[in-house]
Amino acid sequence: MSQPTVERIRTYPIKSLDGVDRDRAELLPGGALDGDREYAVVDADGEYVNGKRTAAVHRLDATVDRRTGTVRIGRRTDDERREFDLSDRGPLAAWLSDYFGEDVRVVRDERGMPDDTDARGPTVISTGTLREVASWFPDVTVDGVRRRFRASIEVGGVPAFWEDRLYAADGSREFEVGGVRFLGDGPCNRCVVPTRDPDTGEPTDGFRATFLRKREATLPEWVPAERFDHFYKLMVNTRVPESGWGESVAVGDPVRLLD
């Protein structure tokens, strides 16, 4: 095993839609990466319109330009893309309402809108894990697995499931990314989203059953088994102490366990 380093940082400007690779990202108050899940689509009751709710989100192609504050969006099956201003989200909401067939709004929270509001830090996975999981399924690529599981920080130079070292049997474990302290909170429970093709939204036959079987079979012996009441878990949720708020992480940063 070589020195663990940050190989990729990917944020998701609009929750549930496409991600964007970054060279560097700042840690906001609360611990989220700047620009990650900053916007979200919600229905009339304020509930997220996301991949857990509808596979239609997978069929949207969305590219956010943080410099201009705009998004280019369209159906993956069409060549046409519309550009919308994210500071005036009414026209975008109208377009999305037509697409989803219900009235929706696009809301913003600069602190980010993660699913796990207790562990608001970036999720962590290793490139080795992505490669291993891709090998379990015919016709599923490494980048396809990356897009299914949607982690924010990817660590290179380590074997598969190395990220499972970032939490303890009875709680969190401290580690550093480029000198910034993190707490690994535990393995992330997965939802229906990874079972679908990230472009079409079509379910991959037997994905969950195969994942459960292979995850259990390949679970490293040093992983605390008590953290796995089931095996549909992958990547690690994190928290960032207040001392790290305002600091940045970057591609190439070393990753180091502290205890």
What number is the average pLDDT over the span 208-226? Answer: 96
What integer pLDDT is reported at residue 68 of this predicted model? 96
What integer pLDDT is reported at residue 113 of this predicted model? 96
Which pLDDT tens digit goes with each residue over 183-194?
999 999 999 999
What integer pLDDT is reported at residue 197 of this predicted model? 97
Q: Which residue has the higher pLDDT, 218 or 1?
A: 218
What integer pLDDT is reported at residue 1 of this predicted model? 58
For residue 2, pLDDT over 80 is answered with no
Count of CB atoms within 10 A of residue 173's CB? Answer: 18
Q: Which two tokens stand for residue 177?
A: 């990314």
Mean confidence (pLDDT) of the chain:
96
Q: Which two tokens stand for residue 28?
A: 């906001």
What integer pLDDT is reported at residue 137 of this predicted model? 98
For residue 150, pLDDT over 80 is answered with yes
Which pLDDT tens digit goes with each residue over 103-135?
999 999 999 999 888 889 999 999 999 999 999
Q: Structural domain boundaries of the chain?
A: 5-33+114-257, 39-108
What number is the average pLDDT over the span 207-219? Answer: 98
Please name every residue paired with 124 in a beta bridge, in sequence order, or none if there are none.
Answer: 153, 236
What number is the average pLDDT over the span 38-47? Answer: 97
What number is the average pLDDT over the span 159-177? Answer: 96
| Distance separating alpha carbons of residues 121 and 242, to the nearest angstrom | 11
CATH superfamily ID and name for 5-33+114-257: PK beta-barrel domain-like (2.40.33.20)
Burial class (CB within 10 angstroms; exposed 0-12, middle 13-18, buried 19+) of 61: middle
What integer pLDDT is reported at residue 116 of this predicted model? 85
Do 80 and 74 touch, CB atoms closer than 8 A?
Answer: yes
